């Protein structure tokens, strides 16, 4: 009887271990994806902040006094 149940028990354990590994890998992938999303959102915020800042032009740039000759 043990000869017949042991392979089933081992197959069940093997399946369970494989399943646990797959779940663990999926969780790690999800965490990495969430980090990449956070990094992308930070980059978007920085780029938007830079594009909203006024760009100095010849008209709006502060004027420096001319050096005395």
pLDDT of residue 37: 92
pLDDT of residue 52: 79
Rounded to the nearest 5 degrees, what angle is found at the Cα of 31, between the Cα atoms of 25 and 35? 145
- Identify whether 57 is part of a domain: no
| Range(s) of the domain holding residue 37 | 1-50
Over the chain, what is the mean pLDDT?
79
The residue ranges of the chain whose pLDDT is under 50 are none
Please count the structural domains in the chain.
1
CA atoms of 32 and 3, how far apart (whole Å): 44
- Identify whether 30 is part of a domain: yes
- Identify whether 64 is part of a domain: no
- Identify whether 63 is part of a domain: no
pLDDT of residue 50: 84
pLDDT of residue 60: 67
């Amino acid at each position: 009887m043990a000869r017949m149940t042991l392979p089933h028990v081992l197959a069940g354990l093997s399946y369970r271990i494989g399943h646990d590994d797959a779940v663990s890998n999926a969780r790690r992938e999800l965490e990495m994806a969430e980090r990449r999303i956070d990094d992308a959102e930070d980059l978007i915020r920085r780029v938007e902040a830079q594009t909203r800042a006024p760009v100095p032009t010849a008209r709006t740039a502060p004027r420096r006094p001319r050096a005395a000759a």
